[in-house]
Structure 1
Amino acid sequence: MAKVASVPAEDAVAADVEQQIEASVLRTAEMFALTKRSASSAYDYAPSKKVRVRTKLNDAYLFEFPDALLEPKAAAETADLTPTPSEAAALAAPGPAPAPADVVMGGHPVPSAPGVSIEAEDSTTADKPSFVDQVAKETEEELALKKRKIAASNINGDASSAVVEYKKQTETAAQFGSSAIVRRRATQVSKPKWHAPWKLKRVIAGHLGWVRSISVDPTNDWFVTGSADRTIKVWDLASGQLKLTLTGHINAIRGLEVSPRHPYLFSAGEDKKVLCWDLEYNKVIRSYHGHLSGVFSLKVHPTLDILVSGGRDAVARVWDMRTKNQIHVLSGHQGTVWAMETQATDPQIITGSSDSTIKLWDLAAGKVMTTLTNHKKAVRAVTKSLLVSYRDGRCRV
């Protein structure tokens, strides 16, 4: 007998659990019904409730709400929601629309649904305005503010502040629809002045091979040249007379640099050597070893005792001028480093390579800052103003 009596009790518990699950599912579906039309919602709205809410909103606040806010179900499911004659007569009567028994008018957080008990609203929820009332109030305030602005502009003699502001816009700004976007003014380039063709003043001869490098003394008293005959010659700038010949390389000389702060001359060649010459004694005092192939470019830092060299091994090496230590190996190019430039401010080192790129380096970190990639062929020369010449016959900024 005990087993037989326990069966109805278990059925009652199972039915209660199923009812609670169904209520929870319905509540969750109706919670997302405003943002996503759920076809699985089994909650049945009362037709009279929909019609009365829509009519009240249209008559009282002149709002046209989208169907997604008032009808969570699909339009095919709500096609038969037409008011009955008795409901139409009740709606046509003057005064506020009567609230049916199944409509929850309070500010309850949970909608009415089968299996959900709604308690009587307390004083806190009774005085709280609904969302529709808040939207209507804000809209009325905005309309009143616009009317006051229009009235004030009419008194001052202007038709509308918006029209006056539109008149102030330029033709270009009105074309783009915003005063913040203005057409850029064309760049004005000064026309160069014509001058007579340059005349050859002097031909200086003395090398036995191709002159591949040249550097001028900062005082403009003399200049040096390096040649494929493995010699360095010092010339007087005013007279063009040969002053000195330096020998020490065993292959063509490809780079020369005169230090502006020291009595030093630096040379680099295809023999992988980077040499420092003391011009007071006219001999080599330091040699910088590290390049794996010929060295083709050379530069001295304008404010630091640093020397930078680049070559066929596709790297630029930063040297301590006095201790001969290698500070950085600036790797990143895919070809010979043909040209370089140094300056006191960042980027302190600029290199141009046969991989048609120009790299701007951070000297402190030893890493590349920016890579310029607009050339089509090898970059052979770089200046501080970033005017770059290269083999395809063009010059780019």
Structure 2
Amino acid sequence: MAKLLMDLTPLSYSPALRRIWLGGIFSTVGYSITGVAISLEIYALTSSAAAVGAVGLVALVPLVLGGLYGGVIADTYDRRKVALAATLSMWVLTALMAAHSWLNIHSVWVLYALIAAESLFQPINQAARGAIIPRLVKPRLLPAANTLMMSVGTLGMSLGPILGGVLVATLGYQLTYSINVLAMTVGIWALYRLPAMKPEGTAEQPRRGGLSSIAEGLRFVRGNQVVGMSFLVDLLGMFFAQARPIIPALAALSFGGGEIGAGFLLAAGPIGALTGIAFSGFLKDLSRQGRFLTLSYAGWGLGFTAFGLIAWVFDGQGQGASVRESLLRLSLAGLALAFMGWADALGGVYRSTIIQTAAPDHIRGRMQGLFIITVVGGPQLGTAGVGFAAEAMGAPLTAVMGGALVIITIALATVRVPALWRYVPEPVPDTRQIPSV
């Protein structure tokens, strides 16, 4: 049984990682609560799945800019200071979201503007944090450390949607937004306690301009097929299969349960991911990491197709239904979404590890920046695409077709470039320097 459970060794090995892990739980719970509140408020103001999906479109350009230049900044300056400055900026924006609600403005355009600004700082923060993690543990503990950091996101995103739906239904938007202001303070404390984290080798490396540094990172990705394919399969999976923009509409039309039902469905994927992470001990003995990663995205697509088929069966039966009346429908839909989260979380352990292992420290921030663009920008773009597709042809059919397209496109890409499918890592020596793939 112990071999199945998540490896907690890095938490005892590194007090700094332990603080980052704890602070991240609070921050992610609050962030996820805010994300649910924004989705529900926009849908309440517009009654449009496309308006909810537009959240991803609004966030996309700032996210790309923040990811590209955030990686350069993280490879140039003290990563602790970079992460701290970005987190403080996000804290201010979160406070403005709360103020917007307390002042009863309730403007979709103000929410879009705040989302866009937050999307600029989020990848800067995550690029710096992702580049810090390999400095806090030995290489042999890196997969376990990445699993723990993924557990932060999955735990926060499991609790956040449930709490968000309940809080919006019982306390309203004002207090719901305000909770994230308090939660993010713990994450700021954890970053403040870190020692200086200047990139290794920067004294020997000539300082280049932003565009030159970005081009160097892109050349690295283009020259490494394993890393390049890890980005591509993630983009394909996340673009075609996103449940968030269609859940508010399906909770109203197919599944029932109102805001609480929507919160339950939004939490189902993260709960599945948390379950996968909790029983991820077997991953440390896995040799065919690339094949496992590829199959995990196929599982993600399969789960989205199943979610669409369930919605199709119950289409039109959810209007006005309480949570008790909708329990069977919500449970079946939740299981499909939980399977998606389970597949994504298990594959994500090696998605992070492969990229961190491939890059030397002086370029690791740029790899993390591109990684954030992929793993966050892909879902943002997919959120917009799925939302508009659902508006045009209905949410159930959008989910069925989207899941099928994930499986088909990833299969075609793998046949064309099989490097990730064949990838097996070489043994990593227990030293601080991590070799390239």
Tell me if TM exceeds 0.5: no
Instruction: Give 1 or 2 for the bigger CA radius of gyration.
Output: 1
Q: Which has the higher strand share?
A: 1
Q: Which has the higher helix share?
A: 2
The bucket for the TM-score relative to the shorter chain is under 0.3
**Which one has more relative contact order, counting CA pairs under 8 Å at least 6 apart?**
2
| Alignment TM-score, normalising by the size of structure 1 | 0.15
